[in-house]
Structures are given as structure tokens and as C-alpha cells.
Structure 1
Amino acid sequence: MRRIIDRVSQVPMLVATVLSALPVALLWGVEWGETPFQWAWLPSIGQSVVVAVVVATVVPMVVGVASDLLHGRAGVDILAIMALVSTLLVGQYWASWAVALMVWSGDAIERYANGRATSNLTALVAAAPRQAHVVMLRGVGASARGRGADGWRSAGNDGSAGDAPSARGSKAGSGVGSGTGSGAGSGTDAHFHTIPVDEVAVGDVVLVLPGETVPVDGSLLSVSATLDLSSINGESVPREVFAGARVLSGAVNGSTAITVKATRVSADSQYQRILAMVADAQESRAPAVRIADRLALPFTAVSLLIAGVAWAVSGTPLRFVQVLVLATPCPLLIAAPVAFVAGTGRLAKAGVLVKSQDALETLSRVDHVFFDKTGTLTSTVPRVVGVDMVPGTSRPRRLSGEWDSDRILELAGVVETYSVHILAKGIVRAGAEAARRRPGRSRRPVVVGVREDAGNGVQADVDGVRVRVGRLGFVSDQDADGVGGIHGWRPLKPDEMVAYVSCDGVLTARVVMRDLPRVNSRSTLDALRGMGMDLTMVTGDRAESARVIADEVGIDDVRADLLPQDKVAVVSSGGAGRSRSRTATMMVGDGVNDAPVLAAADVGMAMTDGTATAAADSAQAVIMNDDIASVHRALSIARRTMRVMLQAVVGGLLLALFGMVAAAFDLIPVVAGAFLQEGIDVVSILWALTVLIDVPLALPGSDGGKASAVHRPSPLP
């Protein structure tokens, strides 16, 4: 019932107009002369109710038209005003009532349509964090600046967070003020205040209770956390992160309270950046929508011309009225912007944010897509594709179990855990997979003496064995020249990289890695080619490496050995030398060095995992789920948005013109014409809303677009 009351309260004039039909019908024949007022010159009481409804409708419309004219816009509501006034002048009261009903129901339909069109975007806004629980820790954040003067107590004795405080807490007054909560965890007491999220400062320690949204970007102080990132990047499976990991605002915490040290204030945090992009997209107007606005003026002139000719030929002003009641340009005024807002929301639901409706329209015209290679067509982290062991090496005495490639990978992965090198993550991931495959594994190895030589490698004592991983000169005294031939290793391919492993100073193996294509790169490019797209790879890598990846993903046009400025030149030229002229170009990239070329393309699309990058800042569209299949998805949605918008606008206008011509020949009575125009408006607007429907697309499989987890190392040669 409350929902019904809320809906009714939003459209009071529509309700009043509908309810007025009862007194109009009942008092239609009751004249004012039959009352004590003796105003016989007035229309009947029922007809006077219609006059009151029309006046209540016309007055705000006149104010709106005047405001539009003052701001240099055409007041197209003039057609509806003329229809309302002219129907009264010719005594067509029921037609006047029908036009008033049409106006207010159109307003209600527009509210509904905009609400539905923005539903995916408003869901993002509604989920925005508004409060934060700031914990007092000695010497950290707010407490260090004296915010604790009102009696907040510190947690722990050393300024560290320990384990996350429990979810028990109270909030003062309206939830902003001095609430406290007690923490369990490591046995410390944690007291916190709940404050507006805008008041959180860099360095503050924030408590995030189970099920709450992380209010600001920060680093995790708790041992671990399980976070739902679906509102940021559409990732359906919660992600587990560990102490020190970056935590993004907008992530939803799992079942255990956690503490996060703020690294950004709310205004600079990731979720607020997303909301800013959403707001910009909602407030912008696509060129097609602006053209539709401009078309409303000539449509008004054509309508008046048809109505005037009908009056002149027929000799009766009623014919003029019959045409006018069919002449409101709602398909232009409402259907076009509704379609674009719906398309923007549909893209957001698919994990793609556009910064303006201009970008959405340009996306619909793209016919040439340029791709960066590394991190875009390929996975971000190089993957292990094989382990080549040195023949004849034996297992160190202090280690147990089999001595094979999996054991080597496990040792290397343990050591590389402490490295920041770009290749480390791939080896760590492969080592974890190898450890899970090893039978009888019951404990984690003891690791001491970790030391990294930047650019060369990392070493550590693992269960008493000195393990080194890195360049050959770092792990062994052997000469790099001919080492592969000495041990019978195969020659490396142009796109392969290696890390060598030694145990107690003895070269043991080499780990072979390569930057593999994402699992759905080829299927995505095939789908784009099926849309008629030309595809080009632009990369700074060597031509040999680029050609290997291009052959695997199915790209013929490869531009390699390019500096950032060279990429800009290639994309700006639209792929010079191609046979047909370009409608629009799009660049897809992920790295900082992609930022200039993303800005140079007609549409720059940045691939991210939801985090802010220089590429995302310079792009017009941002993929939030790091899935290359979203490129095809975005282009398909953009094309469908434009197609549906044109269908809604052109179809609605053609139906209205057909109705006006029929009314000019006296084929449509004035009351029927008013209801017919209402039907045309409803059909046009609802058709524009079909952009929101999830139409099955022949999309490549999307599991995040990563390369398959870890490739099982090749057997020993």
C-alpha cells in the first residue's frame, strides 16, 4: 500500500485528471443557471471542471515554454498548449480532457521510462558508502592528529591493528558522532566513531563490518578479507585478499570485520570516480538527441501547416483541432533521450562505463578497432609454459619427496613470493599449482634469509636449501653462451622468457614463460570481424613476438616496434592504406603508455579490473571487469541502442504524421485522435526502453578474459 501511495504522490495531476472524469460525466448536463449563482452564460458544471483541468495543465506548460525560449531552446510544448486551448474554443470538452490526460500521463510515462532507463546507474549511486567507522590507533591517522580529544581510546599498545575488531558497535544519535565498539581479534580493545565518509582522512584506520561497503580506498591491515567487487567490476565471485593488499571503495566486505588504512579521501577513491563518470554520462546529451531536439521545431511547423491547410480546405476550425491533438512530438522529446540513457545503463550492467553519451553514439559507428598487445590481447602476467631441468641433477639431501619439475616449481614459487619482479607472479602461481599436485604435502616450507637483487633475482633458504631464482649469472657461475645446447634444451621462441633456478649454487632448471593470449581473445576478435570491423594490433614489442600473438588471436594487420607517438600516428590516420573510408576508430589498451593513443582515437576504451589508471583517465569508455569480450559486448549494445532509438523516433513521428493526415481528411474524430496520440507516445517510449532487454549475443566465453590458470610444465626432455 505504501508503494502505491508513493507512486500516486509522484503524479498528483494525473490522478486528479483521471478522477475528474466522474464529476464531468455526472454533472455534464447540470447548468450553472440551475444553481443559486444564476451564471447561465457559463458552460455546464461538468464542462467547467474540464476548463479547470485545462487551466491547471496549461499554466505550468506556458511557464516551461517561456523558460525554454529564454534559454534559446524551442518551446515545442506549444503544440500541446494550442491543442488544449483550441479544443475548448470549439466546444470539444471531452477532447480537451483527453489532451490533458495525454499530457499528464505522458509526464508519468516519462518518469517511469527515465527511472527504468537509469535503473542500472542509480543502483550504483544507491550503493555508494556514506559513513565510515574510524578506529582510534595510537600514532596513526586521526588519533595522531588529535581527533581523539573527546575520549577515544587507542587499540593495542604498538599502533598496529591486529586482527579486525568484531562487528559489535554503537552509533551515536543519527549515526554520526561518538559511537564505540569493542574488538575481539587479538585481544585488544578497539573504539571507533561513525562519521560521514567525507570526513575520513588519509591515514585513518577504518573498521568495515560484515556486509558493509568499504568507504574509501585503502590498504588491508587485517590478516585477510573476502571482498565482493561486483559493484566495481562485475566480478561475480568474491575475491580473497591478504594483509597489505589494496582495497577499493565500493567493495562489499564478507562475513568477518576487517580494518583498512585509508590511502585516499572519499572524493579521490575509486567508487567516487565511478560515480563521477556515471553522473557525467547522465548529464550529457548525445549528438543524436540534440538533433532530435532540433527536429522538434520543424515538426511543429509541419504540424501547424497540415492543420492550417485542413482548416482552410474544410472551412471549419474543428478540422484544425483534429490535426493538432495528434501532433505532440513525444517520440522526439522523450524516446530519444530515454534510449540513450537506457543504453548507458545497459553498458554499466555489462561492466562498461562510458563517460558521455557522445561516446555511446560514437561507439555505434566504430568500424576499425586497434588493440594493444600486452595486457589487452594477452594476460597481464606471463605464464609458465614449461620447466627444463638440467639432466643428472639430484635432490638436495635436506629435501624430501620426488625430484621433478613440480618440485622445482614449488621451490621457485616459494622464493618468488618475496619478489616484485614482473615475472614473479607467474612463477608463484605455477608453484602453488605444483604444490597442490604433490602427494603427501603436509606443511609449508620454512623460509629464511630472503634477499632480492633488483633486476637480477631473489634468493632464500627454503628448508635449509639455498634457492636462487633469476638471471643465469645471478643463480650460477655458468656462462650464458651455449648453456641451452650444453643441457640439451630447445631454443627459445621469440616471445618466450626464462628464469633460472639453482639449489645450493648448482644450476637445476630453467622456468620458461610467455605472455599467453587471453582465453577468449580469438573468439572476441572473430565476433568483431563478424560485425564488419577491421582489426589492427599496435605494440611496442618486437615484430617477431607480436606476430606470434597475432597469429594465435587471428589478427593480420600488425604494427610493431612502435613508440607511444608512433601508435598515436597510426591510430590518428585511421589505419592508413586501408581500402574504405573510416566512420570511427577505437583503441583498446590497458597500460600507462596507452594513454596518449587512447585519447587520439575517436573512442578510447581502457581495460581495467576496476582500479583507476592513467589509461582509464584518458579513455572515453572503461571496461571495469578486465574482460576483452566486453569490447564486443559494448559495440553490440551501442549499435542496438542507436538502432532502437531511430526506430522509436522515426516510427513515432511517421505514425503521428499518418494520423494527422487522416485527421485532416476527417477520418479520425478529435477525441479518438487524442487517445490515438497517447497510444503512439506510449509505444515509442516503451520501444526505446527495449534497449534494457538482455538480448542474447553471440559473445565469446568470458571468465575474466585471463589466460588459462597455469600451464602444466612440459615433461623432461
Structure 2
Amino acid sequence: MKKIIDLCKEVPLLPLTLIAAIPLALIPSWRPWGHIHSAFDPGVGEWIIILFVAWTIYTSIREMIDSLKHGHVGVDLLAIVALISTVCVQQYWASWAVVLMVASGEAIESYAQNKARGNLTALIKAAPQQAHVVDLPGVDETNIEITDEGFRKVQQAVEEAQRDGSTITAGAGHFDTVPVNDVKLGSVLIVLPGEIVPVDGMLLSGTASADLSNINGEPVPRTIFAGAKVLSGSINGSTTMMIRTTSLAADSQYQQILKLVSSAEESRAAVVRTADMLAVPFTIVSFAIAIVAWIVSGTGLRFAQVLVLATPCPLLIAAPVAYVAGTARLAKQKILIKSQDVLENLGRVTHVFFDKTGTLTVKQPQVVRVEKSKDAPESLTEDEILMLAGIVEGFSAHVLAKGIVAAGKEAMARLHRLPKSSGKRASDENVDAHHRELPDPHENYPVVGNVSETPGKGVTGTVDGHKVEVGRFAFVTGQAIASQEVHNAQEEESNEKAMAQADRDAAKLWNTTLEPDEMATYIAIDGKLAARIVLRDVPRYNAKKSIEQLRELGVKQETMLTGDKKASAMIIANEVGITDVRYELLPEDKVAAVRDADKDKKVADTSTMDRIFSKLLGEPIHRDVTMMVGDGVNDSPVLAVADIGMAMTDGTSTAASESAEVVIMNDDIGAVPKAVKIARQTKQRMLQAVLVGIALAIVGMVCAAFNLIPVVAGAFLQEAIDVVSILWALTALFNRD
């Protein structure tokens, strides 16, 4: 009921028109003023309809002029002439039906647009509106850190406010609630449990949980620690969070997402403009049928019968609704586009370029195996080696560290060395039930200490009393190759060559040799070489399937671009199923590769509907479309030069999206074929809705010309045609596989 009331408020002409039917039915010919003229002498009920017709004509002309000013062809002329003609032939029920058609058309359009925008609206409504700025002595934009005492004061004030049931408002004593756009750089904010983070910032409080589902669809909240970046649009977990702002509201992550959403929502696709162009020949055909029917029949009633069926809604509403629906469907899949033109071009992609590292492969090398040395104790398992290596590598900034740390955590889980329940007895009456279940983070976790890193060589530390060294072979075996201090570039180069030679010599200790795309780090335990940990750049789990899906969609060619050497590049290419590989490329070489493909563009295979539209409008058949898929700032030049640039992010960065037309927010390569498929389905639904609507209208007009459809029935039939075409356009929202 509420939705109906809201719709009536949005389109007041609709309920008023329905009410106007009552006097038309009860007192159509009542004339308290007497007769005026025998040829044109409406009663009270009929005059009410005439007034509604006049108002509808006025608003339609105004909207048509406004459309023309914005470069859109208006076809409201058909409805205007239909209204005038029905009044002239004194078919007032038909006039009422046409007014109802116009009013309900606006209501249907409003409903369809709101339905189509559903996912976009959800994103916009989630935008943060206010922020709680900390107002404590010594806490301002110049402070780098917040003292424990300062944080405790804020925490206490929050708890008091929550306990008293009061809200946090300006002048509460420790913080002021202000509009999000008033937050300054460097301000300290608190974010209450369940609130949306208002601006990008750095976490000052110890640990927190952040739900990023609004940003990248990640279902499981992330645990973040002091010093970590906190993104606007994420939802705080169950603890109060304190952050220092690093971006203004307008520059924050969520606002960048909203800019993409808004630009797509406000744009008009070329196909929608094509539908506008069809309005002109459709209007001409409609008037031609109506005039011929009038001349042949000799009665103006036949002219009105035809024009009430000349429905413009498939052109006015169905086309844009389909594209907004497609844009919203992409947004639901965490795929954002900058304009609806991109949506159309996505469906015509014929050649896709992929960056290798971070796009076809995961973002850092992964551990593929552990090879124990002959000096390693028999009792030492591979999981124990990975655990020890992962713990000390957790303190390293080396490029291989993340992969080893991830493997180490998995090994710890298998060894049951992660924190677990403290095991306090439930029968202990001096401990309340809540605290009995609290975990003791130090009970089963390895004891770590004395960690230090030698940049470029390795990291060392003690774990459970054992000395652990992880790094290059010379480092972990204690070879006196490199001095701790390097005084000049020549000495650094000499040391690096010696370290590299030691790494090559180390291979002789193992029977297996490393593949071209593999790399190794070494671990020594208590001064003895224990193992070689082998890592490699591995493909994403669904990369091969995504390439296959693109081929099934008719994409003619896939190309991999990489700066790697041929041997390692071909290994990844073979695993994901790409045959066209360009290797040892600099950024400018990647740009040149995409440009060369643009020069060689050929006429693309097009659907029957595309060819029909091209013939009707005298447009050239579309040519091949190139798309570049990359993941980072280094890919920005190539993303910009392709017809479509698609940036894959995890929702934490929009750097690559500055030069990309499509942004994948959930870092999933499977979204590439999904985006192409949705784009194609959207265009198909739009063309089907438009052509079916026009075809039904023309058939109806021809039948009316032969007096097979009465004028009142024609007006209601026209409404049914509108509903069919618009509902069909809305199917672009749904997956029909």
C-alpha cells in the first residue's frame, strides 16, 4: 500500500484521472447551464475530461520541448494529436483512456526506473552522511598518534552514552557530530559499532573488524590492525574504532565508487540514442496510416482510432530502462562502468588483452613445495618448516614474504598451533561464564623474539627457542660474502653477483632443478640448512575457465602481455590456455601492441538485430572492439589506449580505474566474461523490447485502420503494448541462463 501511495504522490495525474472516470460515467451529459451548440455541447463529466486533456497536452508539449533542448527526439507528438483527435470526434472515453495511458506511462516509467536502479540506489543510500570528530585536549590535525589515555577517555564517553541510551551529538564533550563533508584532513574520528566509516583513514585503535561487502562484495569481514588503512563505505564491527582521516570525503574511496555509479546512471548509450532516432520514422509511419485510413473511410473517427494505438513507450521508456537495468545488474556483480556507451561496447568485444602478473596470476608468488636438505632432522616435518619460516617472514617486507607467511599460517592451522580456548574450568565459581570462554592468544602460539632483517638477504629470529634464518642461500648458511655495510655501488654490485652465484651453487644440493618460473628461498634452523622453499607465480584458480567462457561468447582472440622472459611467460600462458603471448615488454611496448591491434580492426560479426538497425539507420556495421584487462597503476597507459580498459581491484584502490572504463571491485577474473555476457544480454533485451513494441503498435494501427479495433479498446490495447515492452526491457535485470 505504501508503494502505491508513494507512486501516486510521484505521479498525481494518475489517481486524479481515475477519479475523473466517475463523473464521466454518472453525469456525462448533465448541463446545468443549458445547451451551448448542437455540434459541440459537452456535459459536466465530459468537460472534466476535456480539462484533463488540455492539461496533458500542455505538460506533454513542455516535456517535448525540454527533450529537444537536451538533444533527444520527442515522440509525445503522437499522444498530443491522439488526444486532440479523440476530443474532436467526441470520443470522451477514448480521450480519458489516452490521458490514463499518459499518466500510467509515467507511473510505469517511474516504477521501472526505480526497479532497474535498485542496486545502484542501494550503493548510493549506503553513502556516509556524518562523522564523529574527536574533541579532546591535545587531539588535533598535527598529532601523529593518540595516547592510550586519550583513547580510553573517548571509549569511556562512548560507553556512557550507550549505557544512558543517549546519542552522540555535537557538544557531547568529547566529540562533535558533523556532516561528512566538513571533516578535515588529519582529524581524529570515532566510528561506533555497526556504523559506516565516513572517510578514508588510518586505524589508531588496536584492532577492528571491517565489513567491505558494500565495496567489493567480500562476504567475510576483515580484521585490521593499528596503522592499517580503513576505507570509507566499510561497516565497523562490534568495537568502537578510532581513525585519523587521510582523505577528504570527496576524495575517499566510496565517493570514487559513487562517481562511477552516477556517471553511468546519467549517461545515455548509443543504442538508446538509436531508439530516439527511430522515433522519427515511427511517427511518420503512424501519421501515414492514420491519414490514409481517414481518407479511405471518409471519417475522422478512423484517424483517432489509429493514433490511439501509436504508442511511443517502447522508444521513450523501454530502451533507457533496459540499459539502466543492465548497469544495475553489473553493479550487483561488483562491476562498475563509467557510462552506458561502455555497456554497449562491452557486448561487442572481439579481442581481449590480459596483463599477466596480478591479473591472470595471483598478486604474489605462492609456495608450491618444500624440499628438505640432507642435513634436516628426520622428525622435522614440512609443515613445521613452513610454520617457522612463515613466522619470521611475517616481519619482512620482501616480495616473497607474503606467500611464505600465507603458507605458514595454513601449516600452523594443520599443526593446531593457532590460538585456542584457554581451557579454564567451567566449574570455577570465581570466574564468570563469559570470561571462562575467552581465548588465551599465547597458550599455543609459538614464542617469537630477536627478529631482525638484512635487506636483500634475509630475516632471522628465534621461534620457541630455535634460531631460524630465512633468505638467500649465502645468508642462511653463513657464507662471508657480503659485508653488513655497503659503501659504494661497485661493492653492492660485487656482493649481489656473489649472492646470485651462491644461489646457483645451492641447486647442486638438490636433485631437482627449478623451473624457469620458479624461485627459491632457504631456511636454516639452529645453524643447519633445513630446506629449500620453492615459490612460483601461479594462475588464478578460475583464469583458464574465464578464457574458455570468453571464447564461448564469441571473443575471437586473447593475448597475454608481460615483461617476463619467454620461458616463464609460456608456462602461465599454457596453463590458462592463451596461445598469443607477448613477452619481455616494457610499458610502452604494451601500449604499442594494443595500438597495432586497433589498426588491424576488421568488421565484427554482428547479430541479425544489429544488422537490421544498421540498415534502418544507414549506419556502418560495427568494427572489432579491443579490451585491456589489468590490475594496477603500471597498466594505466594500456588501459587508456584500448577501446575498453578494465581494471581489476579488490575495492581498496581506484588508481587503475582513473584510466579504465570498467572497474571490477572484487578482484575476480571471472567477472570479465560475466561483464561481456551481461552487456550482450542487455542489448538483446533492449532491441527486443523496442522492436516487439513497435511491431505490435503497427499491427494494431493497421487493424484499427480497417475498423477492427474500436477507439476505446485501442486506447487500452496501447497500454497493454506499453506494459509488455517495458516489462521485457526489465528482464535485463535478471540472469536467464
* Aligned-residue CA RMSD (Å): 2.7
Aligned counterparts of 1:587 and 1:593: Cα–Cα separation in 2: 13
Query: Who is 1:91 aligned against?
Result: 90
Aligned counterparts of 1:292 and 1:161: Cα–Cα separation in 2: 62
Query: Who is 1:549 aligned against?
Result: 572
Query: Who is 1:446 aligned against?
Result: 447
Residues 660-690 of structure 1, C-alpha deviation per residue, up to 9 Å, x if partnerless? 1222222221111111111111111111001
Residues 147-182 of structure 1, C-alpha deviation per residue, up to 9 Å, x if partnerless? xxxxxxx975477999797555389999762235xx
Task: Choose which of 161, 165, 169 in structure 1 pairs with 2:161.
Answer: 169
Query: Who is 1:292 aligned against?
Result: 275
Residues 671-714 of structure 1, C-alpha deviation per residue, up to 9 Å, x if partnerless? 11111111111111111001112334xxxxxxxxxxxxxxxxxx
Change (3 A) 1:482 1:625: closer
Query: Who is 1:151 aligned against?
Result: none
Aligned counterparts of 2:392 and 2:69: Cα–Cα separation in 1: 71
Aligned counterparts of 1:144 and 1:513: Cα–Cα separation in 2: 42
Amino acid at match of 1:10: E
Q: Contact 1:367/1:584 (CA < 8 Å) preserved in 2?
A: yes
Q: Contact 2:136/2:175 (CA < 8 Å) preserved in 1?
A: no
Query: Who is 2:614 aligned against?
Result: none
Q: Contact 1:134/1:205 (CA < 8 Å) preserved in 2?
A: yes
Residues 539-592 of structure 1, C-alpha deviation per residue, up to 9 Å, x if partnerless? 111111111111111111111111111111222233888998552111111022
Q: Contact 2:601/2:624 (CA < 8 Å) preserved in 1?
A: no
Specify the SS of the correspondent of 1:516: coil
| 1:469 and 2:492 matched | no
| 1:260 and 2:243 matched | yes
Amino acid at match of 2:411: A
Residues 272-305 of structure 1, C-alpha deviation per residue, up to 9 Å, x if partnerless? 1001110100111111111111221222122112
Q: Contact 2:603/2:624 (CA < 8 Å) preserved in 1?
A: no
1:408-423 → structure 2 map (5 Å cutoff):
408-423=385-400
Amino acid at match of 1:460: G
Query: Who is 2:456 aligned against?
Result: 455
Query: Who is 1:13 aligned against?
Result: 13
Query: Who is 1:513 aligned against?
Result: 535
Residues 430-458 of structure 1, C-alpha deviation per residue, up to 9 Å, x if partnerless? 11122222267753333333322333322
Comparing 9-18 with 112-121, greater Cα deviation is found at: 9-18
Task: Choose which of 496, 499, 502 in structure 2 pairs with 1:480.
Answer: 502
Q: Contact 1:608/1:626 (CA < 8 Å) preserved in 2?
A: yes
Aligned counterparts of 2:74 and 2:603: Cα–Cα separation in 1: 42
1:502 is displaced (CA, Å) by 2.4
Task: Choose which of 617, 637, 640 in structure 2 pairs with 1:596.
Answer: 637
Change (3 A) 1:560 1:330: same
Amino acid at match of 1:224: T
Aligned counterparts of 1:315 and 1:38: Cα–Cα separation in 2: 24
| 1:225 and 2:217 matched | no
Specify the SS of the correspondent of 2:645: strand
Specify the SS of the correspondent of 1:555: coil
Aligned counterparts of 1:355 and 1:71: Cα–Cα separation in 2: 20
Residues 65-124 of structure 1, C-alpha deviation per residue, up to 9 Å, x if partnerless? 233445554432111111111110111111111110100000000000100010110000
Query: Who is 2:364 aligned against?
Result: 381
Amino acid at match of 2:128: P
| 1:212 and 2:253 matched | no
Comparing 275-284 with 159-168, greater Cα deviation is found at: 159-168
Change (3 A) 1:541 1:579: farther
| 1:564 and 2:581 matched | no
Amino acid at match of 1:586: M
Query: Who is 1:110 aligned against?
Result: 109
Q: Contact 1:451/1:460 (CA < 8 Å) preserved in 2?
A: yes
| 1:647 and 2:648 matched | no
Q: Contact 2:375/2:529 (CA < 8 Å) preserved in 1?
A: no
Query: Who is 2:627 aligned against?
Result: 586
Aligned counterparts of 1:376 and 1:2: Cα–Cα separation in 2: 47
Task: Choose which of 232, 251, 256 in structure 2 pairs with 1:273.
Answer: 256
Q: Contact 2:201/2:247 (CA < 8 Å) preserved in 1?
A: yes
Task: Choose which of 218, 225, 228 in structure 2 pairs with 1:245.
Answer: 228
Aligned counterparts of 1:589 and 1:436: Cα–Cα separation in 2: 34
Aligned counterparts of 1:375 and 1:167: Cα–Cα separation in 2: 44
Query: Who is 1:406 aligned against?
Result: 383
Amino acid at match of 2:107: A
| 1:367 and 2:350 matched | yes
Amino acid at match of 1:530: E
Comparing 211-220 with 267-276, greater Cα deviation is found at: 211-220
1:467 is displaced (CA, Å) by 2.5
Query: Who is 2:53 aligned against?
Result: 54
Aligned counterparts of 1:487 and 1:454: Cα–Cα separation in 2: 25
Aligned counterparts of 1:240 and 1:156: Cα–Cα separation in 2: 21
Change (3 A) 1:579 1:509: farther
Change (3 A) 1:104 1:173: farther
1:644 is displaced (CA, Å) by 0.2
Change (3 A) 1:166 1:516: farther
Q: Contact 2:558/2:580 (CA < 8 Å) preserved in 1?
A: yes
Aligned counterparts of 1:578 and 1:305: Cα–Cα separation in 2: 42
Aligned counterparts of 2:154 and 2:453: Cα–Cα separation in 1: 28
Change (3 A) 1:216 1:481: closer
1:496 is displaced (CA, Å) by 0.7
Query: Who is 1:689 aligned against?
Result: 730
1:147-162 → structure 2 map (5 Å cutoff):
156-157=148-149
1:538 is displaced (CA, Å) by 1.2
Specify the SS of the correspondent of 2:296: helix
Amino acid at match of 1:98: A
Aligned counterparts of 1:87 and 1:112: Cα–Cα separation in 2: 28
Amino acid at match of 2:559: T
1:33 is displaced (CA, Å) by 4.7
Change (3 A) 1:492 1:580: farther
Of all paired residues, the percent bearing the same amino acid is 54
Query: Who is 2:172 aligned against?
Result: 179
Q: Contact 1:136/1:155 (CA < 8 Å) preserved in 2?
A: no
Change (3 A) 1:451 1:440: closer
Comparing 377-386 with 102-111, greater Cα deviation is found at: 377-386
| 1:426 and 2:448 matched | no
What TM-score, normalized to structure 1?
Answer: 0.88
1:141-152 → structure 2 map (5 Å cutoff):
141-142=140-141
Change (3 A) 1:565 1:440: closer
Query: Who is 2:490 aligned against?
Result: none
1:124-139 → structure 2 map (5 Å cutoff):
124-136=123-135, 139=138
Specify the SS of the correspondent of 1:480: helix
1:394 is displaced (CA, Å) by 4.3
Aligned counterparts of 1:475 and 1:20: Cα–Cα separation in 2: 91
1:41 is displaced (CA, Å) by 6.3
Comparing 408-417 with 353-362, greater Cα deviation is found at: 408-417
Q: Which consecutive residues of structure 1, in runs of 5 or more, have no partner in the other structure?
A: 146-153, 181-190, 396-401, 697-717
Specify the SS of the correspondent of 2:502: coil
Specify the SS of the correspondent of 1:419: coil
Q: Contact 2:391/2:405 (CA < 8 Å) preserved in 1?
A: yes
Aligned counterparts of 1:592 and 1:548: Cα–Cα separation in 2: 25
Comparing 89-98 with 438-447, greater Cα deviation is found at: 438-447
Comparing 198-207 with 647-656, greater Cα deviation is found at: 198-207
Q: Contact 2:326/2:679 (CA < 8 Å) preserved in 1?
A: yes
Residues 215-243 of structure 1, C-alpha deviation per residue, up to 9 Å, x if partnerless? 11112223222221111011122222222
1:200 is displaced (CA, Å) by 1.6
Change (3 A) 1:579 1:82: closer
Residues 48-75 of structure 1, C-alpha deviation per residue, up to 9 Å, x if partnerless? 1211211221121122223344555443
